[in-house]
Amino acid sequence: EEVVSKNFIEQEIDKDLAEGVYNHVQTRFPPEPNGYLHIGHAKSILLNYGLAKKYGGQFNLRFDDTNPTKEKTEFVESIMEDVKWLGADFEDRLFFASNYFEQMYECAVFLIKKGKAFVCDLTADEIREYRGDFKTPGKESPYRNRSIEENLKLFEEMKEGKYQDGEKVLRAKIDMASPNINMRDPVIYRVARMSHHNTGDKWCIYPMYDFAHPIEDAVEHITHSICTLEFEDHRPLYDWVVRECEFENPPRQIEFAKLYLTNVVTGKRYIKKLVEDRIVDGWDDPRLVSIAALRRRGYTPEAIRMFVDLVGVSKANSSVDYAMLEYCIREDLKLKKPRMMAILDPVKLVIDNYPEDTIEYLDAPNNLENPELGERKLPFGKELYIEREDFMEEPVKKYFRLFPGNEVRLMNAYFVTCTGCEKDENGNVTVVHCTYDPETKSGSGFTARKVKGTIHWVAAKTAVTVECRLYENIVDEEKGKLNEDGSLNLNPNSLTIIKNCYVEPALAEAKPYDSYQFVRNGFFCADCKDSTPEHLVFNRIVSLKSSFKI
Ligand code: ATP
Ligand code: MG
Ligand code: MG
């Protein structure tokens, strides 16, 4: 029998199903449309979607849009796009919490009628003062014992717009002596004379999150309401709301640890500042870890899924090394993408004994480890570009690339022997010279001599000039993420733009989001914002070297 280890949430679900608490599984992802989604949200999306799939249940996308102050329609669109892109297909199960305002209002009235909620005239500051803290028990509000009739009338008046913001609130009547501060008569409705992006001016009272969320879950017949650890202390209130509102088959809340990544910035406050200060190019800058940024950088949903699976689900907060995410994208792309020739730091190589004006088309396999990707024709000629670091006039020890007198293999082409170089007045190498041996053509079966070095190249005549953007982590945690004044300690080298890179002509076709392996230089993706057929721009997704071991 196959042994499959289950995470703690799956174990809880198994138990619920076995005990008949539920007979199906219904999950949801409930974002507030107040910003972009990031890698942490991806974990929650894939977790909830994965559980629904695994148990033959359903997955809802629900916008938790009950707070009129912060939400914007523009984020609704981007969140839907991101969730779909990640592969969490919500089909027609798209919901908006603001569509339940009527039900929430009815729940509030129901609680008042049960004597479980009251209208309170204390100010926000007074409420805080009365609430007490961990050490001191709370004090009951002087309005706590209003009659049901009076509470119904006052709540109705709140709804009718008779009171200003903050003048009155509705509070659950629970227990001011509870050791859990969330249970000390929490506010469940407030007056806010504000337009809502969905309901316009229909409402001037809005439910608080801790009251709204359990009702949203219950209305959608969610079984397992999965959220992050900071809501653990709110669970008693969640349970109180669904119990006192007398929902049948109420949902239950299960918490897991948030995903944190090292060397990245996820806080909205910081990202906003980076955007405003023009340090990054919007919230989809490839150095960020919003879903849109990862997509723009060249990450795939498969890689993100692999990453989330590797990280697993736990009850303890911890940070995951960014290198693990890089490992996942390398694994995903290495067999899927063609290996192309691109020179990022070019110097010219002239083959003095090769015929002038000849273009020869050589066969090049697209991916040595995956023959299914086929072959392509690679133009070759007398003048090539090679990487500047592949020539040394005076070689260091163990240097096997080009230096005067040394023979190397030009990948997919011929052996060449370096004969010397030309330099400008500052001593910079401008041209490297060599001769080739026609007998050594790749694929000809030549075995008479061996060489130690192989270098890549691009034929000058057919080369396409492109821009490449190389990235490093935007902050370096080892050097301290924050400065003393609380600002981010930014890595000044997080972006390097190289304007004149040369690539083989097959890359001229690259469309936004197309990605490739550039031999020896890493995986690259055509930028979706700035790359055009006339001016191609490639983002380096990740280099080939790995610091992460599994
Ligand atoms: P942020 O402030 O980073 O936008 P949030 O908690 O305000 O995060 P919401 O839109 O309220 O974002 O959350 C939607 C869902 O995503 C919630 O269930 C939340 O618990 C979950 N979530 C948010 N951040 C993470 C994270 N880092 N790891 C896992 N799940 C997360
Ligand atoms: Mg959010
Ligand atoms: Mg939130």
**Mean pLDDT rounded to a whole number for the chain:** 95
Max Cα-Cα span within the chain: 103
Tell whether ligand 1 has an atom less than 6 A from the beta carbon of residue 33: no
Residues 3-54 have pLDDT tens digits of 678 999 999 999 999 999 999 999 999 999 988 999 999 999 999 999 999 9
Q: Is residue 231 predicted with pLDDT exceeding 60?
A: yes
Nearest to 211 by CA among 90, 116, 70: 116
Residue 42 near residue 290 (C-beta atoms within 8 A): no
Distance (angstroms) between ligand 3 centre and the Cα of 35 equals 10
Three-state DSSP at 206 gives strand
Distance (angstroms) between ligand 2 centre and the Cα of 283 equals 13
% of the chain at pLDDT higher than 90: 90
Tell whether ligand 1 has an atom less than 6 A from the beta carbon of residue 207: no
At 476, the amino acid letter reads: D
Q: Could you give the CA distance from residue 215 to residue 111 in angstroms, rounded to a whole number?
A: 13
Tell whether ligand 1 has an atom less than 6 A from the beta carbon of residue 258: yes
Three-state DSSP at 400 gives coil
Tell whether ligand 1 has an atom less than 6 A from the beta carbon of residue 43: yes
Distance (angstroms) between ligand 3 centre and the Cα of 99 equals 19
pLDDT confidence tier of residue 2, bands split at 50, 70 and 90: low
The per-residue pLDDT for 472 is: 94
Q: Which ligand is nearest to the CA of 313?
A: 1
Please name the residue whose Cα sits nearest to atom 10 of ligand 1: 31
Tell whether ligand 1 has an atom less than 6 A from the beta carbon of residue 286: no
Q: Which atom of ligand 1 is nearest to the CA of 30?
A: 14
Tell whether ligand 1 has an atom less than 6 A from the beta carbon of residue 296: no
| Ligand 1 pocket test, candidate residues 66, 228, 304, 311, most atoms within 8 A of CB | 228
Residues 512-524 have pLDDT tens digits of 999 999 999 999 9
The per-residue pLDDT for 267 is: 83
What the block records as the tokens of 543 is 């280099």
* Residue 510 DSSP symbol: -
% of the chain at pLDDT higher than 70: 99
Q: Which ligand is nearest to the CA of 34?
A: 2
Distance (angstroms) between ligand 1 centre and the Cα of 41 equals 5
205-229 average pLDDT score: 98
Q: Could you give the CA distance from residue 515 to residue 338 in angstroms, rounded to a whole number?
A: 9
Q: Is residue 71 predicted with pLDDT exceeding 80?
A: no
Residues 480-529 have pLDDT tens digits of 888 888 888 999 999 999 999 999 999 999 999 999 999 999 999 999 99
234-239 average pLDDT score: 98
Tell whether ligand 1 has an atom less than 6 A from the beta carbon of residue 259: yes
Residues 382-391 have pLDDT tens digits of 999 999 999 9
Please name the residue whose Cα sits nearest to atom 8 of ligand 1: 41
Q: Could you give the CA distance from residue 131 to residue 13 in angstroms, rounded to a whole number?
A: 36
Q: Which atom of ligand 1 is nearest to the CA of 267?
A: 3
pLDDT confidence tier of residue 546, bands split at 50, 70 and 90: confident
Residues 329-358 have pLDDT tens digits of 999 999 999 999 999 999 999 999 999 999
- For residue 10, give every residue at least 6 positions away whose Cβ sits within 8 Å of its Cβ, in sequence order, or none: 51, 54
Please name the residue whose Cα sits nearest to atom 23 of ligand 1: 41
Residue 349 vs residues 356, 361, 416, 511: alpha-carbon distances, Å: 14, 18, 10, 30
Three-state DSSP at 431 gives strand
Q: Could you give the CA distance from residue 196 to residue 96 in angstroms, rounded to a whole number?
A: 12
Q: Is residue 1 predicted with pLDDT exceeding 70?
A: no
DSSP states of 138-195: ----TTTT--HHHHHHHHHHHHHT-S-TTT-EEEE---TT-SSGGGSS-EEEEE----
- For residue 181, give every residue at least 6 positions away whose Cβ sits within 8 Å of its Cβ, in sequence order, or none: 131, 132, 133, 134, 138, 233
What the block records as the tokens of 532 is 């055009």
Kindly list the domain boundaries of the chain, sorted by start residue: 8-256, 261-333, 339-542
The per-residue pLDDT for 165 is: 97
- For residue 173, give every residue at least 6 positions away whose Cβ sits within 8 Å of its Cβ, in sequence order, or none: 115, 116, 117, 118, 144, 185
Please name the residue whose Cα sits nearest to atom 25 of ligand 1: 40
Pairing of strands 360-365, 94-96: unpaired
353-381 average pLDDT score: 96
Contacts 24+ apart (CB under 8 A), 373-377: 373/338, 376/338, 376/506
The per-residue pLDDT for 545 is: 85
| N-to-C CA span, the chain | 26
Three-state secondary structure string covering 455-479: ECCEECCCCEEEEEEEECCCECHHH
Q: Is residue 475 predicted with pLDDT exceeding 80?
A: yes
The per-residue pLDDT for 480 is: 84
Return the bridge partners of 136, or none: none
Q: Which ligand is nearest to the CA of 227?
A: 1
Residue 141 vs residues 129, 146, 173, 336, 425: alpha-carbon distances, Å: 10, 10, 10, 65, 86
CATH of domain 8-256: 3.40.50.620
| Ligand 1 pocket test, candidate residues 44, 261, 325, most atoms within 8 A of CB | 44
Nearest to 391 by CA among 430, 352, 436, 339: 430
| Ligand 1 pocket test, candidate residues 41, 78, 209, 289, most atoms within 8 A of CB | 41
Nearest to 52 by CA among 86, 103, 89: 89
Write the class of the CATH domain 261-333.
mainly alpha
Lowest mean pLDDT among 89-103, 225-239, 256-270: 256-270
CATH of domain 339-542: 2.40.240.10
84-91 average pLDDT score: 97
Tell whether ligand 1 has an atom less than 6 A from the beta carbon of residue 41: yes
157-165 average pLDDT score: 98
Q: Is residue 69 predicted with pLDDT exceeding 90?
A: no
Select the more confidently predicted residue: 485 or 396: 396
Q: Which ligand is nearest to the CA of 225?
A: 1
